[in-house]
Structure formats: structure tokens, C-alpha cells
Amino acid sequence: MHDIRAIRDNPAAFDAALSRVGVEDASSPLLALDEARRAAIHEAETAQAEQNRAAKEVGAAKAKGDEAEFERLRALVTEKKAAVTEMQARARDLDAELTDALMRLPNMPLDDVPDGTDEDDNVEIRRWGTPRDFAFAAREHYDLPAVANGMDFETAAKLSGSRFVVLSGAVARVHRALAQFMLDTHVTENGLTETWTPVLVRDEMMYGTGQLPKFGEDSYRTREGWWLVPTAEVTLTNIVNDMTVAESYLPRRYVAHTQCFRSEAGSAGRDTAGMLRQHQFEKVEMVSITHPDSSLEEHGRMTRCAEGILEALELPYRTVVLCTGDMGFGARKTHDIEVWLPGQKTYREISSVSVCGDFQARRMNARMKPEDGGKPVFLHTLNGSGLAVGRCLIAVLENGQQEDGSVDLPAALHPWLGGKTRLTAEGELA
């Protein structure tokens, strides 16, 4: 969420920043609401002062025995009390309207984020690994003989509908091993704190990280009012919701493996084949809570944590900086890491690592108290996949596929598979 005081002080800068993400003249309606809200507050305070003054005079009139003045002042107090109540309600309504308007606006991109309209304008910053030169026509993951018995979309459709999958046998074990490998690597090598969190959250938590109010249709809600998390970013970031932490508390670096749920509203027809875009999937999510001065450095660190997983699995990837038109709602800057998928002959996103500045912290009212005793300030938040487990499974299967239909598995994964090194064409670990 944005600071209305900063908008009031420099509306031109605010408008210029948001115009880069497609929002024009954002300040005018906000400042009009702010002016009306402040006027209502002033009127309520003035009426309250008049009510208090009249209340004191009532006692004086009573003491003097001036019954007519006493009745006049008592009626005035009643009148002012009703006016104060009405004015205070008006001020609260305007404040809520202003807060809602602010919460619907995206974050402001950093100056070095490239301008653009879509993914074609993203800027590649590095590549790692060389895509394998296949001596045969590479298949997509769902066409591999090795997964024919372990990746069942028909049964999933019977159980739940489209965009679900049932994994079984060796394929399910490789999927689980990938998540365990990611978690253990992030904990033992990258210094993140393993965390287990709920997948059902309250409205306030979804507001805190920016899923609400604008993107409610992208998530699932239960009859009891809980939301199924689209990512553990929601729970991990909201650990500091409504908290003021000591500077020494920071940084906090969390990692969690959770089920994630997305309705994929507006994505009909996109990536419907296979496991690439599912309603239910698993992610190993990273979240950092930092000092405002160190969030940009942390962004680079988190990106390297995610890249390191792909390097350990020997999966070629490229890292891009998202342009303004392709960046998410809450981000100030995002690195997308795209893994090479031989079946599609292209790079596909497997992780987005974003620095949000104080955007989420303002929504959560999460602050840091400086060690020098200064005024508390909003802390900074970051999030990123480390990695999306299902998409990583796709990449492992497609990059390791052999002409006979088997799959060679990355050496880094062997310890999590009891020393097994490959999936046979019949779908067994060997």
C-alpha cells in the first residue's frame, strides 16, 4: 500500500511511477478523497470541541439556577452529540474508501526496471548451462514412457476436474524427493529457517500480501471464510503482521514447502496439457523480512538461492528482469528464473523472486524499531519460489529423457532416492 502523505507531497512523482505500470493519473482521485476525509475529520473535531464547551456551560447554568439557559444548552449538547456521531461516521467511511482505493493500486517499480508491455520486453541478465543436443526428437513430460503409469490426468479429472494430476509410484517419489532436496539445501546451505504453516488463512492475511481486494477471483475461498493460499508467501510474510520488531531481529529468512491453490482465472486455454499450470500444486517458497537498507542486496541473495537449486540439478536456465508490464502487483523489481524445457524447446518460468519494499509492510502494519532509538519504520519484504516443485519435476524428466523412454536423474537427487539413478521406461526406479 502507498503512503498518502508521500502522494500528497509529490503527486507528480507518484503519477509518473504508476504510469509505467499502466495506471494513469492515479493521484487525483486519491487526493480528492484525502481532502474530503481530512475535512470531515476537522469538522468532527470542531463539533466535538463545541459539544465539550456546551457541556461545561450546562453545569454553570444549572449552578446559577438559570433554567432556560440550562435547557437551551442541554438541547445544544444533544444536537452537537448527534452531529459529532454523524461526522465521525462520515470520516470513517471516507477513510475506509481511501484505504480501499490505495490497496487496489500496484507497487511502484524501481528506476532500473525496464519499461515494457509484456514478456517480450523482459531483459535477460544471464544464462547458465547449455541445453542438451538430443539425437532424437525430445518429448514433453506427459508423453514420456517412464511416466505413463505414474502421471494420471484422467483419474484426476474424474476426481476433481481439469488441471489436476494424480502422481504415483516412482514419479511421485521423485516429486517428493525434489521438495526434500530443495528444503534441505535451503536450510543447510542457504541459512533459511524451515517453517510449516497453514494453507487456510483469514482475509487480513490475503490483504497483507496483496491478493485482496483486487485478485480474489484468482484464489479459492471456503464456506467458513478462509482462503486457500496461492503460495506460502501469504503465511510466511504475515508472520510479522501488526508487529514492531527490533532491528536486531532482522533479517528473517524463511522457507516452507506447501500445497498451493490457484483458480487460474483468466488463463483458459493456456498450458492446459500436462502439469505446467495446475489448480493444486506444490512449491518450496522463500520469504525474507529485512531492514529497508538491505532489501536490494537480499534480492540478489534470494535469486542466487533459487538459481543454485537448478545448478545442482544440472538444469539449464536463464534469469531475466521483468519489465514494468509483466511485473506482479506487489513487486518493485522481479527476477524470473526460466528453466529449459526440451519438449517445448523453450525456457519456462520456474521461479519469480521479487523485492516489495515497504508495500506489503504498510498493508500489514509491520515495522522495525531502529537500534538508535529512532521512530519505527516500515520494514521490507521479499518473496520467491525456491522452486516450484511440479515444474522442477517437468524439467528433470524432460532434460533427463533418453531415446529408449527412460529418464536419467540428476546426481544431486540420488541421495534422496535411496541411491537410485534413473526411471526406467517401465516407470520404475533403478
- Binding residues for L-serine are 231-233, 262, 285, 383, 385
C-alpha cell belonging to residue 95: 477513510
Annotated binding site: 231-233, 262-264, 285, 349-352, 383, 385
Please pick, among 79, 349, 362, 428, the residue that the annotation labels catalytic: 349
Residue showing cell 513430460: 141
**Alpha carbon distances (Å) from 416 to 181, 283, 400:** 7, 18, 17
C-alpha to C-alpha distances, 6 to 3, 31, 64, 103, nearest whole angstrom: 5, 11, 53, 15
Q: CA-CA distance, 12 to 10, in Å (whole number)?
A: 6
Q: Which residue has the cell 515444474?
A: 391
Return binding residues for ATP.
Answer: 262-264, 349-352
* Residue 15 DSSP SS3: helix
Query: Is position 391 annotated as part of the catalytic site?
Result: yes
C-alpha cell at 367: 515495522
Closest CA to 2 of 332, 336, 279: 332
Q: Is 256:182 a contact under the CB 8 Å cutoff?
A: no
Other beta carbons within 10 Å of 104? 15
- Selecting among 391, 398, 406, 422, the annotated active-site residue is 391
Q: What b/e readout covers 246-275, taking b as 16+ CB neighbours within 10 angstroms?
A: eeeebbbbbbbbbebbbbeeeeeeeeeebb
Q: Where are the alpha helices (DSSP H) in 232-338?
A: 233-237, 295-312
259 CB contacts (<8 Å, ≥6 apart)? Answer: 199, 280, 281, 282
**Quick check: is 176 catalytic?**
no
262 is catalytic: yes
Could you identify the residue written with the cell 444533544? Answer: 78
Q: Which residues of 152-185 are buried (b: 16+ CB within 10 A; e: fewer)?
A: bbeebeeeeeebbbbbeebbebbbbbbbbbbbeb
Q: Is 318 a catalytic residue?
A: no
- Pairing mode, strands 227-228 and 220-221: antiparallel
- The helix (H) or strand (E) run that includes residue 348 is strand 346-355
Task: Out of 352, 354, 398, 422, pick the active-site residue.
Answer: 352
Cα gap 155→166, rounded to integer Å: 7
Kindly name the residue from 92, 127, 277, 318 that is annotated as catalytic: 277
**Chain centre distance of CA 70:** 60
Residues 6+ apart with CB under 8 A from 261: 199, 219, 220, 228, 229, 230, 279, 280
> Among all residues, which ones are annotated catalytic?
262, 277, 349, 352, 391
